Structure 1
Amino acid sequence: MLTAEPVTRSPARLVAQGGAFAVVLTVVMVGSLDAHRLATTAVGLRRTISEYALGPHRWVFDTAVGLLALGTVAILAVLVRRGITRWSAGGSIAFLAWSAGLALVVVFPKHNWAEGPSASGTVHRVASLVAFLSLPVAAMLLARPWLKDAVWGGHARWTFRFGLLSALAFTPILYAVLVNALVGTPWWRVLPLGYSERLLVLVEVVAVLVVAVWAIAAAQPSYRPSSTDR
């Protein structure tokens, strides 16, 4: 009688897949909020994503951002476990800064600045900036040592490209901040902030998914880290 060979399941692979699923679920949840806003209001998507934290759908926003932060840490943990990077590496630290910034965005929600200054609102703004800037750095630093590697070069190059694209997607917001500093025009009036932010978030989330694909591949039971792994 023929018997099927047992299937080897890698716990690391399950963690990587779970992290990827959390990131995809984030996109679905925030996308549903955007679809609801487009269908029920006339303002379109000109307001920032964080604006959802000021309304009845705050729990959806908080859950989505929390899933993105946790999913990123899970993906990073697999990459560390499989020898692609180390916790002390610059790319890992930048990924943790991205996740920490997202967590602080949830803990300190967006503030309505029309009501005056707010410590919580200031923390939210700084945390958002830290997260947006950390992700491109994380992706490029993670990828750089592996760009010419025979096994992981393809994954590394895609990761680097999306890290660079994430940095480019941030430039419109940086331009608006510079205009505010030089001319005095409020930076949120220089460009359609809601649309610019969504473009940036979309590119950065795709970058995390590209890294997740790398982690899933590295978590294959047949892969064994070598002495040359970074």
Structure 2
Amino acid sequence: MTEDTDGLAPAGPFTPEERAAVYRAIRQRRDVRGQFRPDPVDPATLRRLLQAAHDAPSVGLSQPWNFILIRDPGTRQRLHDAFQTANAQAATRFPDRKALYSSLKLQGILEAPVNLCITCDRTRGGPHVLGRTHDAATDLYSTACAVQNLWLAARAEGIGVGWVSIFDLDDLSRILALPDHVVPVAYLCIGHVTELYQQPELQARGWADRLPLDDLIFQDAWGTPPS
């Protein structure tokens, strides 16, 4: 395949096998909480996952992400303690399902061989970023794209990923010494797993069900079903 002088290359679909692999990674991606094995992630594999994240699209090509690998046991323990505090507070929000909530394992901070925080630098690209002039949150959306890229690449590599979202963000920022202009977007636990749920764990455990796609598709305006 050759490129022209403008850096363009012919476009076309993947092979059926390649296409099936992409959709399989999307369909079988899982939020891993308690299935981590202790064996380390090969550095070359981890590098590929970080590269996949870095290959994500970003508003104005601002690439607002950074990747903080958390290896120090003491730092992990402080993060685990911060999670425990936030999780105890969160449990009170679900009084009718407190027992089920308390039975869910919602993090693998101490068990997973790799902990990774993906952040967003709200100042990267300067005060005016192409595409961000009217929606300041597009840098956060861009960072979320990087998270999803890493997650799908990890599934293709046979690596599990769990997103720990139950933190007081001020605690997370303090423990990781983040500057004021940098915000944590995703705290990820990463490692090899022996098995995965065949459907999302929260669905398997009876917390929620996946909504039918047809109920979520509108045409031209909110609430108007497609013709």
**Larger strand proportion, structure 1 or 2?**
2
**Larger helix proportion, structure 1 or 2?**
1
TM-score between both structures, scaled by the size of structure 2: 0.26
* Larger RCO (CA within 8 A; separation ≥ 6): 2
TM-score between both structures, scaled by the size of structure 1: 0.26
